[in-house]
Amino acid sequence: MNKLVNTRSSIPAIQLRARAKALVEQIEPVVWELSQILYKIKMDQLYMIGSPNFATFDDYVQSELNYSSRRARYLASIYDKFSQANIDGEVVNQIGSSKARLLARVVNSENKEVWLERAKHTNYKELDSIIQSETQGKVIHGHKLGSINIPYYNGETRVAWLEVKELISKMEGIESSESVLEVLIAEYLSMYADDGSHSPNEESKKHADYEILHRDNFRCVVSECRKRVTLQVHHVAYRSQRPDLIDSDDNKVTICSTCHQLIHDKKAVLMQIGSRWALKMR
């Protein structure tokens, strides 16, 4: 029997998938449990285990569960957001999935008591209005960043900024928002420079790399990633194994440094399923 990719759990992946399918039929009473399982299936790419395999989480949700991929993704994000804020499933089940989706835009460990109280004493429409008025036009830290005003008009934009800030902070050893912006700008300029260079210090390969980046629309090809930053060109069949394919464009794909490192650390395998690419964790 196929086991979880993530060795921290001993539950067979096929059982988790079956449980997700059963929970879809009774979502409201068990929103937390379903969101937790969908999150695990998505993060550990357990949708790829068993037969048939699915190229993406969306394919799995739509084909296997007959369920909206958008709804499945936001349920998974609810588990991620609320678990980070140390809010348990009983609370989430009490307020319901609709209000939980709204609170996921703003709640954290520091403000959770205030927002949970608001959710208990307002209906969905009122809560939505309160959150919009709280977030619309605000700046990430409540002030201008140098001469740059960074607004977020919904929670997703703010979450995206916080995630990229955390990633770059870890990669570059920096903390301030200004430094993170400098890294992002430098990456953008290197990616879209007039000469098309992505690796300006490697003159011999920059044109060839640019052609691959352009072909892949300047995104990581991994379906569950699709980043536009820290892009590199990866040889699908390793150069050491197939030196005859070193110059073949068909053997090259655009991939971000994070996914690239997982492959070269032998923690994941890049797989092509139909026209899509996915990482299968070892």
Tens place of pLDDT per residue across the chain (282 aa): 333 344 344 468 888 888 888 888 776 567 788 888 999 888 888 888 776 778 788 888 988 888 888 888 888 888 888 888 888 878 877 887 778 878 887 888 888 888 888 888 888 888 888 887 776 544 444 444 444 444 444 556 667 777 778 777 777 677 777 777 777 776 666 555 544 444 444 444 555 577 888 888 878 899 888 877 778 888 888 767 777 777 788 888 998 888 888 888 888 889 888 888 988 887
User: Which distant-in-sequence residues (6+ apart) come within 8 Å of 104 by Cβ?
Assistant: 74, 77, 78, 81, 82, 155
Q: Is 252 helix (H, G, I), strand (E, B) or coil?
A: strand
| Count of CB atoms situated within 10 Å of the CB of 270 | 18
Handedness of CA 89, 90, 92, 98 (dihedral sign): positive
Render 142-204 in DSSP notation, one character per residue.
SS-BTTB--EESSHHHHHHHHHHHHHHHHHHT--SHHHHHHHHHHHHHHHH-TT--SSTT-HH
CA distance 8 to 40: 11
d(CA 87, CA 185): 36
